[in-house]
Amino acid sequence: MSFNILETSIADVHAAYQSGELTCRQLVESYLDRIEKYDKHGPAINAIISINPTALKEADRLDAAFKSGGLVGPLHGIPIIMKDQGDAVGMPTTLGSLLFKDYYPDRDAFVVDKLKQAGAIILGKATLGELGGGDTHGSLFGSTKNPYDLERTAGGSSGGSGASVSANFCTVAVGQEGFASIRRPSTWNCVAGMRPTMGLVSRSGVYGGWPSINGSLGPMARSVTDLAKLLDAMTGYDPDDPVTARGVGRIKEPFSDCLDKNGLRGARIGVLRESMGYDAEPGSEDFNKIAEVFDKAIADLKAAGAEIVDPVIIPELNTLLAKRAGNVTDEEESFKIFMGRSKNPPYRSRQEAMRNPDFEKVTKRSRDRWMRAPTDEANYEYLKARDQLLTHLLTIMADHRLDAIVHKAVEHQPTLIRDGVNPPYVDQKGAPHLNTFLIYVPSVVVPAGFTRDKLPAGITFLGRPYDDGKMIRLAYAYEQATRHRKPPPSVTPL
């Protein structure tokens, strides 16, 4: 096979199919070979939990369909890695935990079904922060390495998805974010990632879904073009996830039609400089290394034609962000709905799962998160703060006539794995969570270059509710003007 899968795109793959240079089977085999060579052996990135046992059979079916009628859909024969938080028949949904290692769901998640209808192949399931949160460590698999520095974390909780895309184990991947779980691993793995506005993408068949509304699935890709194409195939109303009713009528054009390399010309961009990252240490050397990259990114935005408003200040930003609190009732009901999709689920409630002796083997931060029980009063204060902060954000954008606000994608470099699995248990360090605090705003991260330590850094484009297409347009224009994506040397053949 002459086709080179390194850094390939959806368009490259389809062109190779149509020219006869490549078959779907050959592509799947190539990715499986790379996973064996670089994920299981060699640098042992450890980003993949399970492989779809029918992947080659599905590839053969798509090859036959192509011979008789051409591409079956916009993602025909595109191998996708799914964060192991969503259901895909034939593979366990483990949440990266010994608690769920033998759980095989009865049916696909809504988004998995949509991707298959578009012609995609679910190649495998990726590692994640255990039980769907935090950097990518788990009792089932250990830790996922960052391909740019094997002693550091890939981030999380969608760390396996981010590392898989960056290491070229798939064409694109699906992540999930309830705090910073798509944007942080995208940043630390030098790929593009997006948490769409809540309501555009269904979470049915995904842990952390309805009636909870803070978590959303989103695309992760080596380019904004592929990110947009993947998102196009993921959106849609699903009666099993009622929050998607809010997204009906919100998409005015395909996201793949929003790609304009001149999209920054005349755009008014506000620069949010106030530190808001989780456990961030402003002024520290590590923080300053990220700030250097960010300053260069702002200059690049201006050079690309954007009108820069620097800085913008959101009143009470960190005071209000500190009021974040979960809703135990929603989280419990969400778990029951997720498990209830199968006839014989391993547990009926989170309390039942916590009674399993293996719960003691769950990583400390994930165990603590599951045992945390915010009060109704704390949740009420959060809801008030959320409404107030959204008003502040929209007021600032209106007063300055902004198209978007940009901020550091993560305010620190990737954490050392040893510091994440041992005291002081550093987790999610430097991760901003403004977008998931506000729920109904889109956020896209794009590679912004590398620090002095040769580690990836990124920039975030954040916009008004349902301005997803505009954020993609701005992110694409920045990407095309700078082209900072570089594959990691640990998994790139010399």
pLDDT at 41 over 80: yes
Q: Is the residue at 320 inside a domain?
A: no
User: What is the CATH number for 195?
Assistant: 3.90.1300.10
**267 falls within a domain:** yes
Is 388 inside a domain boundary? no
Mind listing the pLDDT tens digit for each residue in 55-79? Answer: 999 999 999 999 999 999 999 999 9
**What pLDDT, on a 0 to 100 scale, did the predictor assign at position 374?**
87
Confidence at 373, pLDDT banded by 50, 70, 90: confident
Q: Please provide the average confidence, as pLDDT, over all residues in the chain.
A: 97
Give the per-residue pLDDT at 407: 98
Give the model confidence (pLDDT) of 77-122 as tens digits. Answer: 999 999 999 999 999 999 999 999 999 999 999 999 999 999 999 9
Query: What are the tens digits of pLDDT across the range 422-446?
Result: 999 999 999 999 999 999 999 999 9
Look at residue 329 and tell me whether its pLDDT is greater than 80. Answer: yes
User: Does 331 score more than 90 pLDDT?
Assistant: yes
> Is residue 394 a part of any domain in this protein?
no
Q: Could you tell me if residue 318 is inside a domain?
A: no
Do 143 and 174 touch, CB atoms closer than 8 A?
no
Assess whether pLDDT exceeds 90 at residue 1: no
Average pLDDT rounded to a whole number, residues 129-152: 98
Tell whether the model's pLDDT for residue 493 goes beyond 80: no
Burial category of 290 from C-beta neighbours within 10 Å (exposed 0-12, middle 13-18, buried 19 and up): buried
Residues 86-125: b if buried by 16+ CB within 10 A, e if exposed: bbbbebbbbbbbbbbbebbbeebbbbbbbbbebbbbbbbb
Residue 492's pLDDT is 86
User: pLDDT at position 63, please?
Assistant: 98
d(CA 435, CA 427): 19
Mean pLDDT of 197-201: 98
- pLDDT, average across residues 467-492: 97
In sequence order, the β-bridge partners of residue 405 are 270, 462
**DSSP codes of every residue in 181-224:** TTHHHHHHTT-EEEEPPTTSB--TTBTT-TT--S-EEEEEESSH
The structure tokens listed for 235 are 């959106």
Structural domain containing residue 366: 10-312+328-373+400-491
Kindly state the helix (H) or strand (E) to which residue 421 belongs, with its residue range. Answer: helix 417-421
| Residue percentage of the chain with pLDDT more than 90 | 98
pLDDT at 494: 44
Does any domain span residue 323?
no
**Would you name the residues annotated as active-site residues?**
83, 157, 181
Is 321 within a domain?
no
DSSP state of 35: I
Select the more confidently predicted residue: 2 or 405.
Answer: 405
Q: For residue 251, name the pLDDT band (cuts at 50, 70, 90).
A: very high
pLDDT at 285: 98
Cβ–Cβ < 8 Å for 203, 337 = no
- What is the arithmetic mean of pLDDT over 46-60? 98
* Inside any domain, residue 174: yes
- Phi first, then psi, for residue 301 (nearest 5°) are -60, -45
Please give the tally of structural domains in the chain.
1
| Burial grade of 296 (CB within 10 A; 0-12, 13-18, 19 or more) | middle
Given a cut of 50, is residue 216 above it in pLDDT?
yes
